[in-house]
Amino acid sequence: MSGKYIFVTGGVCSGLGKGVAASSIGSLLEHHGLKVRMIKIDPYINVDPGTMSPYQHGEVYVTDDGAETDLDLGNYSRFTSSPLERINSVTTGQVYQEVIRKEREGRFLGRTVQVIPHITDEIKSRLFKVGDQPDVDVTIVEIGGTVGDIESIPFLETARQFIHDLGKKRVLFVHLTLIPTVSDGEMKTKPTQHSVASLRQIGIQPDIVLCRAPMPISEELRRKISLFTNVEDEAVISAYDVQSTVYEIPLIFAEQKLNEIILEKLGLPDTPCDLSDWKRVVEAYNTAERTVRIGLVGKYTELLDSYKSIYEALYHGGIDNRCQIELVKVDSDQLPESGISGLEIILKDLDGILIPGGFGQRGIEGMVQAAGYARRNRLPCFGICLGMQVMVIEFARSILGWEDANSTEFAPDSKHGVISLLEDQIDVKAYGGTMRLGASPSRVVPGTHLHRIYHSDEISERHRHRYEVSNSFREELAKAGLIFSAFTPDNALVEASEWPDHPWGIGVQYHPEFKSKPVSPHPLFSTFVAACVRNESA
Tell me, what CATH number does 295's domain have? 3.40.50.880
pLDDT digits (tens, 9 = 90+) for 315-324: 999 999 999 9
Task: Answer yes or no: do 242 and 312 share one domain.
Answer: no
Task: Answer yes or no: do 343 and 489 share one domain.
Answer: yes
Task: Answer yes or no: do 31 and 110 share one domain.
Answer: yes
CATH number for the domain harbouring residue 95:
3.40.50.300
Give the residue numbers spanning the domain of 399.
288-537
Task: Answer yes or no: do 292 and 272 share one domain.
Answer: no
Catalytic residue, from 248, 461, 495, 513: name it.
513
φ, ψ at 158 (rounded to 5°): -60, -45
229 with 204: CB under 8 angstroms?
A: no
Task: Answer yes or no: do 263 and 130 share one domain.
Answer: yes
Distances (CA, A) of 67 to 50, 62, 95, 386: 9, 6, 15, 19
Position 283 in a domain: no
Listed residue (48, 131, 162) closest to 433, CA to CA: 48
In the listed set 216, 244, 276, which residue is the last one of a domain according to the structure?
Answer: 276
In the listed set 276, 302, 333, which residue is the last one of a domain according to the structure?
Answer: 276
Active site residue 536: no
208 with 18: CB under 8 angstroms?
A: no
Domains in the chain: how many in total?
A: 2
pLDDT digits (tens, 9 = 90+) for 459-487: 999 999 989 999 999 999 999 999 999 99
Position 336 in a domain: yes
Distances (CA, A) of 376 to 191, 294, 393: 55, 17, 15
Catalytic residue, from 316, 416, 449, 511: name it.
511
Q: Quick one: what percent of the chain has pLDDT higher than 70?
A: 96
Listed residue (337, 287, 281, 327) closest to 307, CA to CA: 327
The residues, any chain, with a CB within 8 Å of residue 34's CB and separated by 6 or more, are 137, 138, 268
Active site residue 532: no
- Higher pLDDT pick, 444 / 359: 444
Position 337 in a domain: yes
Listed residue (38, 82, 35) closest to 271, CA to CA: 35
In the listed set 212, 243, 276, which residue is the last one of a domain according to the structure?
Answer: 276
Position 294 in a domain: yes
Q: What is the pLDDT of residue 430?
A: 47
Weakest-pLDDT range from 165-169, 210-214, 362-366, 533-537: 533-537
Task: Answer yes or no: do 365 and 328 share one domain.
Answer: yes
141 with 8: CB under 8 angstroms?
A: yes
Q: What is the pLDDT of residue 54?
A: 76
Task: Answer yes or no: do 344 and 258 share one domain.
Answer: no
| pLDDT over 60 at 429, yes or no | no
Residue 520 DSSP class: B
Sign of torsion over alpha carbons 205, 210, 211, 216? positive
Q: What is the pLDDT of residue 526?
A: 98
Amino acid at 176: L
Task: Answer yes or no: do 517 and 453 share one domain.
Answer: yes
**Mean pLDDT computed over 183-194:** 88
The terminus-to-terminus CA distance of the chain in angstroms comes to 60
Position 324 in a domain: yes
Task: Answer yes or no: do 172 and 268 share one domain.
Answer: yes
Q: Using pLDDT thresholds of 50, 70 and 90, give the confidence band for residue 340.
A: low
Q: 507 in helix, strand or coil?
A: strand
Q: What is the pLDDT of residue 29?
A: 98
Task: Answer yes or no: do 223 and 293 share one domain.
Answer: no
Active site residue 511: yes
Task: Answer yes or no: do 295 and 255 share one domain.
Answer: no
| pLDDT over 90 at 343, yes or no | no
Position 95 in a domain: yes
Position 281 in a domain: no
Catalytic residue, from 211, 323, 381, 385: name it.
385
**Mean pLDDT computed over 220-247:** 94
Task: Answer yes or no: do 231 and 368 share one domain.
Answer: no
For the chain, the average pLDDT equals 92
Position 391 in a domain: yes
Listed residue (55, 82, 88) closest to 70, CA to CA: 88
φ, ψ at 438 (rounded to 5°): 95, -175
